[in-house]
Structure 1
């Protein structure tokens, strides 16, 4: 039973959690009586559900288009692009010597579709094609843009409009509809002869595709129970019956029965009881009635203010049933406090798309950082040819981009996701002449966006708030009179690089470069208003009155040294700042550091600013991260089940994941911990754990909770499957679904974890 001590009888590994009893018809699956043409063509069922089967743009995409893929001035390759019948993916074919390779990309992985020459690639290499014929598909994560030119402007518009409709309908899908669409896409692929009938061999192929290794005898028994025609083929309603069994959620049915009683429907008062047990703050009868009207799919039940199992499952799989507090997905914090009172999402070497040694620099990297809520970006500025400053990672093989192109990208994209201020952190290696050019570009391109003087002339040293600086751009850099170190040399705008890097730079710089670096242009200095770069020599406050406009930068190594010297444990994770407002991360490098950064800024509308706890906003705080006091909060996580985990090795159909779940805690040193479940053998479709993990927390306001799913391996490190990270203060209690993300932050929908959360404050 899924109650009390949260126990349930275990199954043998060869019999995954699939009920042998047919469920009541699920609202998102067609009824068994359905016999329209879309039932005969499973791939089109998703488009029918979206209401797009008759759409002219979508019809054109289904027929396919020959589009030119553009990579350089000379590399233009014609490719056939065609929307798949599942409405989820686009198929394309490319020709390579002696072979033709086929590929797909998924609609849900598209970040944006831009018309015309609105990408770095098309601005540089698309001049031979009219802007009306061009479009750019920008993807989430690290995948490169797809720059395309259509034969005609109308065909380009069909793809722009069609992709927009598909993305809008996909975003509007419920989680259960996504699961239905997802499994039907695999069904279409498993139907090897495309006759819309499924043999047992094809059903076994389907099961392996969706990440479950089911015992042959057990699978055949389910197959025969659905083979009502007794012809060793499933078709139409028989396929739907099989999928209905596969997609059953016994654990949700058990919770539903516990509250609904014998009549198997929830009244508003019974739903309210469930909400109260969930720990929903301020739950009322009116709230329960509203949920019924929102999520119940049966009109008769809705009219009588009753919720069926289908409606209950729709609710639990909705954003309101997720682990992340839906109220925190909008801006909910006070945005009227000084800038220094916020953690600010910041990027390091923002211009890079890959390696820091030989990778590509691109304005697209800035655009991607902005789409992830980054509010502080770095510009490494160097002398360029023709009097134009360039940006790249100095003394490496990384490519160069023009300073002015980056500023144009800031103007066009900085405020697409968040209206709150952007900080341009300048690492200035240019001489006076090109510094003047930099200042001119900043003023001319940004115009009124650029902050050029204090907002309050009576109190110029007083930091304004994010609210006061909406849609404004701040420059961070050196301000005259320039500070010099012991040998009289002006400090770089990255004030405290790693000593090794500084020595290498000094060894490589010519005498002329060093001479130019000794000067700061008054024109550029004048644009530094609230973010004056300075060297930090200690973490201790400097004597005298506070100087809120001074920003000290330091390397991670120096930061750890300072924390040791200050008597604090050196394991303070810099990506989960305690002493710092901005911690610059390589947004182009996926990993747990970026997961934590994303989790920290997932809340407050993903606006890039998160208000610090009150004790970190006080000048004379007594808070010490190394000695935060006794535990104040107990976090209990019961890991119950997972749904539709992604297959890691699609090239090996017999490779099935053996998933385990690890819960990781990040915060002050004494709170950092991780615990994990056992692994489940050969089942990534619907594994069941029902294991409890518990943590004692001393500074809960700073805690990030990371849920990680891995594929267990006995001989090598586990493989990453998916994760989701969020602040403890935004984690909701009760039965919750956690919607997993990929390594580069893209949605893995419909993959979820189902957990029970309990947070107790002492």
Structure 2
């Protein structure tokens, strides 16, 4: 038995899970079916089946889950709250875009045992170190392949297992290693022997070669040798001596090597595969930026049509979509409000078949989840299509549910010359909507009910129909357009994000207030970025702008956000529900600074008199291009794309740069035939980066196909400024942005000035 599992098996909650329970799986008010659930002996797999469905069963791994919610914490469980009390209900939440599992236990004690047991198992899975993770991975494969469950595997079974693990290897070589591992000469391997076989199989020559270059005796790295490696190869400079000792303490598995201040090849490999050996600078992962500047000085992680789980014509509107976006660090959510038939405002994509949810439920969800992953402010972007009566009700819900969390007055009573900072607005929610007048009128209470002409023209911000066209204005009895009615109580809740129509950069420079915010369709923003890049950068240094996807994107596809970030647009709204390149870039940019949803813009974008233009970065006085060189050395345990038994991948690596127009570039390696297990490329890809502070680097692995499009296998995206030079591992992510254990690439990176 896996030693890790035996320890946790003694836990009383885990014992209940292993004994098994009958739980109701709930999909809707009418679909509630009993299933038998139990935790398998490996302590990682949850198995369930219907009592009646013959042999059919399903399984999922603890590693696929990210949390357990207690009680009625999903729309489905809320809908059956009268039938099943909260202490019987719980929700298993999965990583990425995988749907949740709503369950009802037969007794509160059983529910409690499953809730606590799953939490303990998730915690254990999350706190495994690299070595434990790899051992667990090998263990899982062994169990998958051991069909007759005798804990042994003959050569034929091992060969089949290698195919499953994406290895197509020379039979003679495999047999040779198998025989070496079969110490008892029984013709089969037990789990420990299989682990030994696996280690020989994954002996990484490329890591061994680097180790040899610095090791005097070829057996270990003494402290000074490790310091040399850190300073020369990893470009760590002065800090390398203290760091070398820390690395030995942290990663060296051999106690005797540790005592002698040395690192073995095993320790060296574990270090290279760890977070510290990854391509991402560890210190940039943490919250490290100045958070005391005006809001307009930050890129803000922003979502479009946040209420949708699918496309915008027929998709399901769901509170779950808000929870998922907020969990991904999103700090600007969109709420499309319409009059509800029973007097309660509803949220959905107007004039389409998307389902409806209650506005008050959206606000309650926001209250609960807004600050779970980040303390910094959330902007609630309101698309208001309601009549005055239901607008007033919306204002009541906002005040009643959000309480002091909602910003309803100027922070210090002063009319601001610049927006407050994320630091000052910690734990606060801001309403972005149309307003009858500016915040200065909040000071002396001289408000009128008239909507100004400027407000009337704010149709550009209406984004209401699926084509993002302004809604048709109602005509009054003279045949002239009547003014849209705005509820004063709702208007009063808008303080720092007043939606206004954009009248051009010249007008904004002379008239606009820092709290005015305009929305631009992607096509309009692109045009302005190309024709007046420097003006757009200056405008965005003072006030916020929001960009939204064009109206033809009814499939909820996304535009490339990089073009908008290049001119300093802060609220670049994407469909978080749609996986792909654009969300990879968003995750890449916001993966730094503690994933808090705010990233400080480069200094040349925070200066109201900047000369910077993304079209001509070389004309800016701070221009300092850099050379990026990535030697793609090897890949490790790449994921299978095609689950057909005999298929093995032909991987290639593509590196893509996203940044100012001059920096857009792609280079790729050749493909390696039939090896997703340990392909070796040793190919170098070179780039020149003209605006390093804005560039994102995306590394993608694809399965080459000469007849059709290559299949996506995994990717990793990060800001150029977060890259660590030297020998590094890139831990690949799935289409959903979740980790694919233990898939990685081994690279050597150098960054130098252009001479």
Q: Normalising by the residue count of structure 1, what TM-score does the alignment of the two structures yield?
A: 0.89
Which of the numbers 630, 633, 638 marks the counterpart of 1:640? 633
Which of the numbers 296, 312, 331 marks the counterpart of 1:340? 296
State the partner residue of 1:707: 699
Say whether 1:169 aligns with 2:124: yes
Closer, same or farther in 2 for the Cα pair 1:491/1:751, shift >3 Å?
A: same
State the partner residue of 1:258: 213
State the partner residue of 2:353: 397
State the partner residue of 1:142: 97
Partners in 1 of 2:237 and 2:576 — Cα distance?
36
Closer, same or farther in 2 for the Cα pair 1:571/1:183, shift >3 Å?
A: closer
Cα displacement (A) at 1:687: 1.2
Alpha-carbon contact 2:416-2:514 (below 8 Å) kept: no
Give 3-state SS (helix, strand or coil) of 1:378's partner.
Answer: strand
State the partner residue of 2:140: 185
Cα displacement (A) at 1:579: 3.3
Alpha-carbon contact 1:272-1:283 (below 8 Å) kept: no
Closer, same or farther in 2 for the Cα pair 1:628/1:95, shift >3 Å?
A: farther
Say whether 1:494 aligns with 2:494: no
**Count of matched residue pairs:** 712
State the partner residue of 1:472: 428
Cα displacement (A) at 1:411: 0.6
State the partner residue of 2:584: 595
Say whether 1:63 aligns with 2:29: no
Closer, same or farther in 2 for the Cα pair 1:733/1:581, shift >3 Å?
A: same
State the partner residue of 1:756: 748
State the partner residue of 2:553: none
State the partner residue of 1:693: 685
Alpha-carbon contact 2:526-2:564 (below 8 Å) kept: no
Which of the numbers 435, 439, 461 marks the counterpart of 2:391? 435
Say whether 1:611 aligns with 2:600: yes
5+ residue gaps, structure 1, are 1-37, 39-43
Cα displacement (A) at 1:60: 2.6
Quote the RMSD (CA, aligned, Å): 2.5
Cα displacement (A) at 1:563: 2.9
State the partner residue of 1:113: 68
Say whether 1:314 aligns with 2:270: yes
Closer, same or farther in 2 for the Cα pair 1:128/1:295, shift >3 Å?
A: same
Cα displacement (A) at 1:590: 0.3
Partners in 1 of 2:339 and 2:567 — Cα distance?
37
State the partner residue of 1:724: 716
Partners in 2 of 1:730 and 1:161 — Cα distance?
37
Deviations 1:391-437 (A, max 9, x none): 00011110000000010011101000000000000000001000000
Closer, same or farther in 2 for the Cα pair 1:224/1:300, shift >3 Å?
A: closer
Closer, same or farther in 2 for the Cα pair 1:749/1:511, shift >3 Å?
A: farther
Q: How does 1:549-588 map to 2 (within 5 A)?
A: 549-566=515-532, 573-574=562-563, 576-588=565-577
Closer, same or farther in 2 for the Cα pair 1:52/1:247, shift >3 Å?
A: farther
Alpha-carbon contact 1:176-1:314 (below 8 Å) kept: yes
Closer, same or farther in 2 for the Cα pair 1:154/1:499, shift >3 Å?
A: closer
State the partner residue of 1:287: 243
Which of the numbers 226, 232, 239 marks the counterpart of 2:187? 232
Closer, same or farther in 2 for the Cα pair 1:140/1:363, shift >3 Å?
A: same
Cα displacement (A) at 1:531: 0.5
Alpha-carbon contact 1:211-1:657 (below 8 Å) kept: yes
Partners in 1 of 2:678 and 2:243 — Cα distance?
31
Closer, same or farther in 2 for the Cα pair 1:571/1:328, shift >3 Å?
A: closer
Closer, same or farther in 2 for the Cα pair 1:642/1:45, shift >3 Å?
A: farther
Which of the numbers 290, 299, 319 marks the counterpart of 1:363? 319
Partners in 1 of 2:363 and 2:560 — Cα distance?
37
Partners in 1 of 2:10 and 2:466 — Cα distance?
64
Partners in 2 of 1:499 and 1:169 — Cα distance?
45
Deviations 1:342-385 (A, max 9, x none): 00000000000111110111111111111100000000010012
Partners in 2 of 1:718 and 1:549 — Cα distance?
47
Give 3-state SS (helix, strand or coil) of 1:202's partner.
Answer: helix
Partners in 1 of 2:504 and 2:115 — Cα distance?
54
Alpha-carbon contact 1:45-1:86 (below 8 Å) kept: no
State the partner residue of 1:205: 160
Q: Normalising by the residue count of structure 2, what TM-score does the alignment of the two structures yield?
A: 0.90
5+ residue gaps, structure 2, are 438-449, 537-558
Cα displacement (A) at 1:171: 1.5
Give 3-state SS (helix, strand or coil) of 1:385's partner.
Answer: coil
**Greater relative contact order (CA < 8 Å, ≥ 6 in sequence):** 1
Partners in 2 of 1:326 and 1:153 — Cα distance?
43
State the partner residue of 1:8: none
Alpha-carbon contact 2:499-2:516 (below 8 Å) kept: yes
Closer, same or farther in 2 for the Cα pair 1:310/1:516, shift >3 Å?
A: farther
